[in-house]
Structure 1
Amino acid sequence: MGQFDGQVVYITGIARGQGRNHALRFAREGASIIGMDIAGPVAEHMTYPSSTTDDLAETVRLVEEAGGKILARQGDTRDLAFQQQLVADGVEQFGRLDHIVANAGILTWGLTWELTEEQFTDVVDVNLVGTWKTLKAAIPAVLDAGNGGSVTIISSVAGLKAMPVQASYSASKFGLRGLAQTAAKELGPKQVRVNTVHPYAVHTPMGLEDTSAMKAFEEYGMHFPSLLGHYPVASLDDLSDAVLYLSSAKSVTGAEFQIDMGHSKV
């Protein structure tokens, strides 16, 4: 028996990293997965490797290998019609929708006054507007299911403590907190819970393969310390543990769950 037997989860950004791990963990606990990923370059200003169609195919293979059922498509969170159709098709295939994990996001680097218009608007459009479109596309199906359910939004420690050289990223992640708090108040009476997760460094290509990160750390390192020097990077399971907990914790809503090695307290 799995913790999520018979339930259905919609996850954005599933091609690799956190999203893939969330999909695998839910599948191992009996859930069916509806997932999407852009699986390709988002913007030229990103300085870490983009996910690929091969990555997305590998997520599907791993979920099915784990005994899970999955409907996964390549698409952009900024495309509302795409998300609405995917959710509708997933509900038709699996019968319901119980949980939403809004995970997709991008990062760019630059001083506030030196960012290009694209660097600012692309990040806000993907991280904040795209997440709102995820909620718009998927919340009605959760309400139609009538099983309670949950929404978990992946924000960042940069949404709790603004970071230098990350103006667009910090702005988008702070915005997700406001979006989540509003949705939590609206959905509480309908027995749907909404929470945010706030990671610091995570063992993903965005977290470890960004060529701009070290340059930023060298110049602004005073703003990037944590309280756990012996554990500088969170594992994928550290994040998935939180997501699965928040998806099942019936007394928790409006929470801002930090997995930041104490960085927000420094």
Structure 2
Amino acid sequence: MTVSVPPAPLPNAPIARRYEDRVVFITGAARGQGRAEAVRFAAEGADIIALDICEDLPSTDYPGATPEDLAETARLVEKHGRRIRTHKVDVRDFPALRAALEESTAELGRLDVVVANAGMTTARRTWEIDLEAWNTTLDINLTGAFHTVKAAIPLMLEQATGGAIVFTSSVAGLKGLPMLGDYVAAKHGVTGLAKTLANELAEHRIRVNSVHPHGVNTKLVPGIRNLLDAHPEVSSFYQATLPDEVSEPEDIAAAIAWIASDEARHITGIQLPVDLGRTNR
């Protein structure tokens, strides 16, 4: 007998103000997880630097974010009375990313938290991935994350007040999920990059961790559902333990806000699954 379990409601407890007058830099911030993170940090008192490509990508089967999406993120942040600087920039373009971050950091006065969130995915058998799709997936998910921290870390070191870096990895950064070979390779790379940086930056009290969602209710979900419909033989690899089908972006934002906060000041170099129990299977 199949039992229908309603999704758990999002928590509605009062939100702490852990980021008063701090500045948080988020990539992929126009919608989805990035927007939820921007809004969560703003609700906790932070000013935001938000960056997104705001374009369709030729290798994906879902629409990209738009400038209007990024403007909506800004509106939601400003509802909390916080400042935000937005930039339409591709994380693959290191000079543009660095210029945007340096300009906004100068305007807002500091940089405390970096969330390397920008990402994309496609779905097909590994040997069927065309070269353009492979390169795009690695360039955005892995090289883009590297560009993000390469631009941010010198600013944080010069500021000399510590801080936190959080990489959005994935269950695919811990498990060999089928049909996602390029994404798995990129997210495993992100996981390893976070581990190395945690060791390199510890003496500066800059903590580095990765967060690993499973399914999240964003524009990427229809593509994964189509994958499972077309390839039911791999569906067992995508099953979670908790009865909710997917997490909400706010679930991931809450975890990131915690692990980047002073409450987690002795946590660095870990891989935090926020995955409905998937990695426990």
- Does the pair score TM above 0.5? yes
Alignment of 1:113-262 (within 5 A): 113-208=127-222, 212-216=226-230, 218-228=232-242, 230-248=243-261, 249-262=264-277
Aligned equivalents of 1:4, 1:12: Cα separation in 2: 18
- Contact kept, 8 Å, 1:200 with 1:259, in 2: the verdict is yes
- Verify the 8 A CA contact 1:11 1:19 in the aligned structure 2: yes
What pairs with 1:26-41 in structure 2 (closer than 5 Å)? 26-41=41-56
Structure 1: distance between partners of 2:127 and 2:231: 19
**Could you tell me how far 1:152 is from its partner in structure 2?**
0.1
Structure 2 SS opposite 1:151 = strand
Q: CA deviation at 1:222?
A: 2.2
Query: What amino acid is the match of 1:93?
Result: E
Name 1:49's counterpart in structure 2.
Answer: 63
- Conserved? CA contact 2:124–2:179, under 8 Å: yes
User: What code does the residue aligned with 2:38 have?
Assistant: A
Measure, in 2, the Cα distance between the counterparts of 1:40 and 1:194: 29
C-alpha distance in 2 between matches for 1:199 and 1:78: 23
Structure 1 counterpart of 2:23 = 8
> Alignment partner for residue 113 of structure 2, among 91, 94, 99?
99
Provide the C-alpha distance between the structure 2 equivalents of 1:134 and 1:109, rounded to a whole number of angstroms.
25
3-state secondary structure, aligned to 2:64: coil
Gapped regions of structure 2 (runs ≥ 5): 1-15
Q: Deviations over 1:25-47 (max 9, x none)?
A: 111111110110001112x2211
1:34 and 1:205 map into 2 onto residues whose CA distance is 22
CA distance in structure 1 between the aligned counterparts of 2:231 and 2:46, rounded to whole angstroms: 39
Kept after mapping to 1: 8 A contact 2:39/2:76? yes
After TM superposition, give the deviation of residue 217 of structure 1 in Å.
5.0
Task: Please report the TM-score for the alignment, with normalisation by the length of structure 2.
Answer: 0.91
Match of 2:12 in 1: none
Tell me how far apart the structure 2 counterparts of residues 208 and 31 of structure 1 sit (CA, whole Å). Answer: 32
Aligned length: 264
* CA displacement, residues 168-187 of structure 1 (integer Å, 9 cap, x when unaligned): 00000000111001100000
Shift of 1:218: 2.1
1:265: Cα distance to partner? 2.0
> How far apart are residue 223 of structure 1 and its match?
1.5
1:133 Cα deviation after fit: 0.4
The letter of the residue matching 2:103 is: D
| 2:3 equivalent in structure 1 | none
Q: Is the 8 A contact 1:98 1:145 kept in 2?
A: no
**Which segments of 5 or more consecutive residues in structure 1 lack a partner in the other structure?**
none
- Asked if the contact 1:40/1:52 (under 8 Å) is kept, the reply is yes
2-side partners of 1:36 and 1:216: how far apart? 34
Q: How does 1:70-85 map to 2 (within 5 A)?
A: 70-85=84-99
SS of residue in 1 equivalent to 2:86: strand
In structure 2, what is the Cα distance between the partners aligned to 1:236 and 1:152?
A: 15
Aligned to 1:22: 37
TM-score of the two chains, using structure 1 as the length reference: 0.96
Amino acid at match of 1:92: A
CA RMSD of aligned residues (A): 1.3
Matched, 1:109 2:123: yes
Deviation at 1:239, TM superposition (A): 0.3
- CA distance in 1 between counterparts of 2:167 and 2:252 reads 12
